[in-house]
């Protein structure tokens, strides 16, 4: 089969659309005639599976047939390496297992390809070898690898990763490559043991560690081990190495030795384990310096992007990850992430923030962080921002379902399955004697009548029907809107006060209004005479009637003690220079809390830019409570 076979399939795998022969030829650097021959060779090799369809619009990969074909190949350990990637791994594996080298002619005969094909394979291997610190020496026709044991293993690992098409490692393939049939069983036992001790397993990282394990088992079986060095065991490594030792003997009948066990335990401890809910052995702790570094990084993110990641839970998780990341960098063993490319392309802002944080870490710790490691930082940031967004939109719920077998469990599972994106169930009451004081959530979903009334109660059947789900959604929507209005009300009450609200006050003009409202602000120590004079000076420079009917006088400095608005609402418009206004809002600007105040101020001005909404506010603001109620309503419309 042609060496262009894999490139052709990779292009077809990259899209669900058909690709023309000319497009494929241009991307592969060949003629359209060659493309047709590669397609024919691929279809012939995969027979009876029809892996490529030829249509009037080009060629398209039949994914189901292709993956069935690939699975069948992977299940045949006796099959010859047929693709360039498979041959590269085979060649490196054989070269790494001999000190005397292999001739190109021997490799050609054993792999049933030409010597020229082997020469092409070696050319591709050289780049990976250089990146791994390994050299390929050639004397006449004989090839040997030059590098220490760690470098050779890194090269083997790189080639296996490069073989994967999706980025996700196949344990079955690894088990076949290194002749370790019980590798999957080892993983199952490893997860069970770590889970028992309340360690959290990251599935994105564990298979990469198991590749290291497979390589280590294969090398030790052939008498090739890592060099002995002085080892300092921390609590995590000591605990995990004991598990590795026990399971390696059970599944592989091999004693790896302290150095190999330490290496694999270190891989596990720095890649896939984070603190669970506590445990009896070696629970990882967060280093204080890592917390301090992470805290500085998220502070810089806020300064640069105005995105607030200053959350103790996020900082704790990210600090633990950064500690492991730094350790991996010191051992020159970055953790691969199969989602790296999709994260980078799908979430550019999150990726940019992750790069920013990685840059801060690099400078402070004098390490290099690659894109795989950056993508893990992006996962922490993205999941935190997603939780924030979901928490903001979700409605908290209490389920009332009297205990009878597992009906209350079925009810909860049904609601979480159908409405999990809209509702967070905070409590389940299985008694019949429910009191109003027991309810602390936004809504109540109950299977029985309750002895009190709330507009956020919805009664449903024990087994949810479509109409029940619709009813829950309606109550959820009403509760969400009520919560939003409460939030708006809370924000407004921070800046508007009943003792600074005036109705139908006569003003002679702007200066009279500013001094009258200014006295109310001064009497509570919010501003001084200087602020009033500055506001008058500002008004003389340019009118503060930003929208018709509303004046918002203010000083040009932020010297108030706290942001506050003194307000006058008049049914009859009063003169304001060349204009007339019904509402005067004297703004006391302060340096503190300016961001949230700015949001409220903008909403307030926006309301008065609509004459109908302004009329509603003026009509219904006979009292301070009426003003707030009306303002909340028109803002939320």
The DSSP annotation for 408-454 comes to HHHHHHHHHHHHTTTEEEEEEE--S---GGG--SSEEEESS--SS--
Kindly indicate the confidence band of residue 595, based on its pLDDT and cuts at 50, 70 and 90.
low
Cα 372-154-168 angle, rounded to 5 deg: 45
Q: What is the pLDDT of residues 366-409, one digit of tens each?
A: 888 888 888 889 888 888 887 776 666 778 899 999 887 788 88
Confidence of residue 281 (pLDDT cuts 50, 70, 90): very low
Q: What is the pLDDT of residue 531?
A: 93
Residue 346 has pLDDT above 70, yes or no: no
Which of the residue ranges 26-30, 54-58, 94-98, 553-557 would you say has the lowest mean pLDDT? 26-30
pLDDT digits (tens, 9 = 90+) for 464-504: 899 999 999 999 888 888 877 888 888 888 889 999 999 99
pLDDT digits (tens, 9 = 90+) for 402-435: 887 788 888 898 888 888 778 889 899 998 888 8
Centroid of chain to Cα 223: 43
Q: Is 496 within a domain?
A: no
Does residue 484 lie within any of the structural domains?
Answer: no
pLDDT at 528: 93
**DSSP single-letter state for residue 145:** E
> Where does a domain end: 24, 49, 74?
74
pLDDT at 277: 38
Given a contact cutoff of 8 angstroms between Cβ atoms, the answer to whether 142 and 314 are in contact is no
How far apart (Å, rounded) are the C-alpha atoms in residues 510 and 556?
16
Per DSSP bridges, beta strands 199-201 and 273-275 are antiparallel
Check which CATH number belongs to the domain holding 466 and give it.
3.40.50
Domain for residue 283, yes or no? no
**Integer Cα distance of 627 and 485 in angstroms:** 14
Confidence of residue 584 (pLDDT cuts 50, 70, 90): very high
Residues 203 and 190 sit within 8 Å (Cβ to Cβ): no
Does a structural domain hold residue 492?
no
Does residue 481 form part of some domain?
no
Distance CA(502)–CA(205), nearest Å, equals 64
Q: Are residues 54 and 111 in the same domain?
A: no
Q: Which residues contact 253 (CB under 8 A, 6 or more apart)?
A: none
Could you give the CA distance from residue 19 to residue 330 in angstroms, rounded to a whole number? Answer: 44
pLDDT mean over 495-521: 92
- Category of 29 on φ-ψ map: left (φ > 0), alpha (ψ -120 to 50) or beta: left
The closest alpha carbon to 563, from 585, 599, 586, 593, belongs to: 593
Q: Is 523 within 8 Å of 585 (Cβ atoms)? A: no
Q: Residue 258: pLDDT above 50?
A: yes
Specify the range with the lowest mean pLDDT, choosing from 6-20, 148-162, 224-238, 370-384: 224-238
State the pLDDT at residue 98.
84
Domain of 353, CATH number, reads 1.10.1790.10
Q: Is residue 499 part of a domain?
A: no
Q: Are 450 and 514 contained in the same domain?
A: no
Which structural domain range is residue 310 located in? Answer: 288-391
Over range 99-117, report the average pLDDT.
85
CB 328 within 8 A of CB 270: yes
Q: How far apart are CA 57 and CA 76, in angstroms?
A: 35
pLDDT of residue 610: 81
Spatial distance between the Cα atoms of 561 and 586, rounded to a whole number of angstroms = 15
């Amino acid at each position: 089969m042609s060496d262009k076979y894999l490139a052709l399939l990779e292009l077809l795998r990259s899209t669900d659309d058909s690709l023309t022969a000319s497009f494929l030829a241009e991307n592969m650097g060949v003629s359209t005639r060659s493309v047709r021959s590669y397609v024919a060779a691929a279809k012939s090799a995969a027979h009876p599976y029809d892996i490529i369809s030829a249509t009037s619009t080009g060629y398209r990969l039949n994914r189901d047939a292709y993956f069935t074909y690939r699975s069948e190949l992977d299940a045949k350990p006796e099959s010859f390496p047929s693709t360039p990637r498979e041959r590269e791994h085979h060649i490196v594996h054989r070269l790494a297992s001999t000190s005397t080298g292999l001739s190109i002619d021997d490799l050609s005969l054993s792999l049933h390809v030409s010597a020229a094909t082997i020469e092409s394979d070696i050319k591709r291997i050289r780049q990976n070898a250089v990146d791994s610190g390994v050299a390929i020496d050639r004397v006449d026709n004989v090839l040997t690898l030059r590098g220490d044991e760690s470098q050779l293993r890194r090269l083997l690992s790189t080639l296996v990763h490069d073989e994967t098409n999706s980025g996700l490692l196949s344990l079955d393939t690894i088990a076949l490559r290194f002749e370790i049939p019980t590798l999957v069983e080892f993983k199952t036992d490893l997860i069970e043991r770590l889970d028992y001790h309340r360690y959290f397993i990251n599935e994105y990282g564990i298979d990469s560690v198991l590749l290291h394990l497979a390589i280590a088992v294969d090398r030790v079986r052939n008498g090739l081990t890592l060099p002995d060095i002085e080892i300092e065991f921390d609590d995590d490594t000591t605990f995990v190495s004991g598990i590795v030792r026990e399971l390696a003997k059970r599944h592989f009948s091999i004693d790896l030795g302290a150095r190999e066990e330490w290496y694999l335990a270190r891989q596990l401890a720095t890649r896939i384990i984070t603190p669970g809910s506590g445990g009896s052995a070696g629970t990882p702790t967060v280093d204080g310096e890592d917390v301090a570094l992470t805290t500085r990084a998220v502070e810089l993110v806020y300064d640069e992007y105005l995105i607030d990641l200053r959350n103790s839970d996020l900082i704790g998780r990210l600090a633990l990850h950064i500690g492991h990341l730094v350790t991996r960098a010191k051992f020159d063993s970055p953790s691969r992430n199969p989602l790296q490319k999709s994260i980078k392309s799908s979430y550019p802002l999150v990726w940019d923030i992750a790069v920013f944080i990685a840059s801060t870490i690099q400078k402070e710790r004098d390490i290099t962080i690659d894109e795989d490691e950056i993508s893990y930082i992006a996962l922490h940031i993205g999941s935190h921002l997603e939780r924030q967004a979901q928490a903001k939109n979700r409605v908290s719920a209490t389920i009332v379902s009297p205990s009878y077998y597992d009906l209350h469990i079925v009810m909860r599972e049904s609601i979480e399955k159908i409405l999990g994106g809209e509702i967070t169930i905070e409590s389940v009451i299985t008694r019949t004697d429910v009191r109003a004081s027991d309810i602390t959530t936004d809504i109540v979903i109950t299977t029985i009548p309750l002895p009190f009334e709330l507009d956020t109660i919805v009664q449903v059947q024990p087994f949810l029907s479509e109409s029940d789900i619709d009813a829950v959604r309606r109550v959820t929507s009403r509760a969400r809107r009520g919560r939003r209005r409460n939030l708006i009300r809370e924000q407004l009450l921070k800046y508007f006060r009943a003792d600074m609200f005036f109705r139908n006050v006569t003003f002679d003009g702007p200066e009279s209004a500013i001094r009258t409202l200014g006295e109310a602000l001064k009497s509570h120590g919010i501003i001084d005479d200087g602020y009033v004079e500055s506001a008058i000076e500002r008004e003389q420079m340019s009118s503060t009637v930003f929208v018709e009917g509303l004046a918002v006088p203010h000083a040009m400095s932020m010297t108030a003690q706290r942001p506050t608005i003194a307000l006058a609402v008049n049914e009859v418009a009063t003169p304001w220079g060349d204009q007339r206004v019904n509402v005067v809002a004297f703004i006391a600007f302060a340096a503190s809390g300016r961001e949230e105040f700015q949001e409220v101020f903008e909403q307030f001005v926006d309301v008065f830019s609509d004459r109908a909404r302004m009329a509603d506010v003026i009509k219904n603001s006979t009292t301070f409570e009426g003003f707030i109620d009306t303002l909340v309503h028109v803002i939320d419309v």
